[in-house]
Structure 1
Amino acid sequence: MRVGLIARDAGHPVLAAAAEVLVRRGCAVEVIPPDGVAPSASEAGAGAPSGAGAGAPSGAGELADVYLLKARTPQAIALARELEGLGAVVINSAAATELCQDRVRMAELARGAGLPFAATTPAGRLGELTGPEHPFVVKSRHSRRHDLVAKVDGAMRLRELAGRWPDEEVVIQPYLPGNGWDQKLWVIDGRLFAARRRSELSPASDEPGLAGAWEPPAEVAALALRVGEVFGLDVYGVDLLDGAAEPVIVDVNAFPGVRGRPGAPEALATLALRAAAERERVPAARGR
């Protein structure tokens, strides 16, 4: 069985650990960089899959049995869509991954499905924003690594951010007071992992970190699982405000890192194996 990892960082702890599990179970694991450039040894890290290399995404070779779409750049999504067009199984799908990159579409889908997602309003370019009543939260419209997430509590703060991000397309959300932490829930094929993380809006956010073990209440766990159904995701993260206003979803992430969660690599490997097995059964069923 062949598994393709569409990723720029093959040495990411969860990916590398999942790849090791897959190799032990007899799978061949290939790293397929979305930009066509194989990661260097230093980028891949010591935990990268042994013998990992750039697989053939189209016509040049046989498709892998399943692909894991960790990268979320436009190039990665385009590659995943090409693979799906050739009949490949991609986790998460290109459409679901792309949707989670646009916070306006994300909020519209969530609120339309009755999920308690924070009210999210497109606001154009940050440099042209005059701002509603203060305080509020401003975020990059397009979710990505190192994007903009900030609390605006006055005109001076807005000017400061606009000076640094003048052309950034943004959304605004109402500021909801919390306790300085976010509830982080990750789901892999229906298996839930949870922790609390210092909020990006907290004054202590320069010292990020995960709090100790946290068992979410049943209603929060059910909410996280419902997000996967609504968004069509198998591997995803849900961020909720931790405080008096909960439950309020403030973000959904396709294929997050899930770092430091025991059992996460094994769950990811099991998902890949199951998806590949189901792909094999479908043609056989059609043949009968």
Structure 2
Amino acid sequence: MRIGLITPEPDHPLLAATAALLTPEHLVETLDPNTVGEVSEPLADVYLLKARTPRALALARDLEQRGAPVVNSAAATALCQDRTAMADLAGRAGLPFAATRTFITLAQLASGPRLPGPVVVKSRHSRRHDLVARIDDDVQLRELAAAHPQEPVVVQEFAPNSGWDHKLWAVGDQLFAALRRSELAREGRGPTLPLAADSLPPGWPALVRLVGKVFELDVYGVDIIDTGDGAPLIVDINAFPGVRGQCGAPEALAALALRPPRVPG
């Protein structure tokens, strides 16, 4: 088989380890969306989309229109970059997703009514180094708005929790998990601690699988906080995250690349 990696970083640990597993018997090619234009025929058997830039999504859409399977699809990847669309789809599907409100700009949010209690303000469009901040009062909000006045944002009520995020990742048929101290914790983001998938509260693995089905994702991450008594609250969903340091993740991604692609819808 020929497997294409759509990424500007083929040395990413997950991709590099996956390529090393595949190359003894298969051809692995890298397509840097920053430099590659139209891909010539014949196309690869499958492409892994580990990039979210407009150029990467345009390249993936072109490949899909020409009949090539892309994991995850360009449409599914783009959906996970829009936190408003993400929350809307999750709500319609009955997923326990954090209630989300959208504001055209942060300046608009700051000029409106006083926010009720602590909230989490996030960039509407998920990207590297985007905005994620806990706001406890109007002073903090005005300071944030002064620094990012034109940033489109979403607002979620802050749910009391332990200060640790459950990072759950699905790679094909495999589920991986870890605990990471939230970047919203007063101590700041802390280390990532390994967590056995079979130690998750009842129903959580099935919830992650349901997210994949609803969002039509094969490689994805689900950020969950435990609001008490094991009740899960989804606060974010990511297409093709790094899944760093998870034993077995490269093997799962290699197996996914070699299996027949999912049929959208």
1:109 aligned residue (83, 89, 104)? 89
> How much does 1:70 deviate?
0.5
Alignment of 1:220 with 2:204, yes or no, is yes
Moved more, 238-247 or 12-21: 238-247
Q: Deviation digits for residues 167-186 of structure 1, max 9, x if unmatched?
A: 11000001101111001100
Q: Does the 8 Å CA contact 2:115/2:138 hold for their aligned counterparts? A: no
1:176 corresponds to which residue?
159
State yes or no: 1:122 paired with 2:102. yes
- Check whether the contact 2:167–2:177 (CA below 8 A) recurs between aligned residues: yes
Q: Which amino acid aligns with 1:17?
A: A
Q: Which residue of 1 aligns with 2:34?
A: 35
The alignment status of 1:240 with 2:224, answered yes or no, reads yes
Letter in 2 for 1:35: N
Deviation for aligned residue 1:203: 1.3
Distance, in Å, in 1 between the alignment partners of 2:200 and 2:228 is 15
Q: Which segments of 5 or more consecutive residues in structure 2 lack a partner in the other structure?
A: none
Q: Does 2:75 correspond to 1:95?
A: yes
The answer for the alignment partner of 2:14 in structure 1 is 14
Return the alpha-carbon distance in structure 1 between the equivalents of residues 202 and 174 of structure 2.
Answer: 14
- State, as a whole percentage, how many aligned pairs show the same letter: 55
Is it true that 1:189 corresponds to 2:169 in the alignment?
no
Residue aligned with 1:275, SS: coil
Q: Secondary structure at the match of 2:162?
A: coil
Segments of 4+ moved more than 2 angstroms: 212-215
- Letter of the structure 2 residue corresponding to residue 165 of structure 1: H
Report SS of the residue matched to 2:176. Answer: strand
Measure, in 1, the Cα distance between the counterparts of 2:119 and 2:202.
30
Q: How far did 1:217 drift?
A: 2.4
User: Equivalent residue of 1:158, what SS?
Assistant: helix
**Cα distance in 2, alignment partners of residues 159 and 212 from structure 1:** 38
> 1:34: how far off?
1.1
Q: Please, which of 200, 208, 213 is the counterpart of residue 229 of structure 1?
A: 213
Return 239-248 or 110-119, whichever deviates more.
239-248
CA distance in 1, matches of 2:236, 2:225: 10
**2:4 aligned with 1:4:** yes
Name the one with the larger strand percent. Answer: 2
User: Which TM-score applies when normalising by structure 1?
Assistant: 0.85
Equivalent pair of 1:136/1:173 in contact (CA under 8 Å): yes
Taking the aligned partners of 1:123 and 1:76, their CA distance within structure 2 comes to 27
Counterpart residue type for residue 5 of structure 2: L
- Tell me if structure 1 keeps the 8 A contact 2:119–2:155: yes
Q: Distance in 2 between matches of 1:57 and 1:199?
A: 41
Distance in structure 1 (CA, Å) of the matches to 2:201 and 2:109: 39
Flag the 1:28–1:57 CA change in 2: closer, same or farther, 3 A: farther
The 1-side partners of 2:130 and 2:73 are apart by: 23
Is contact 2:60–2:74 with CA below 8 Å preserved after alignment?
Answer: yes
* CA distance in structure 2 between the partners assigned to 1:20 and 1:218 by the alignment: 35
More displaced stretch, 223-232 vs 151-160: 151-160
Report the number of matched residues. Answer: 257
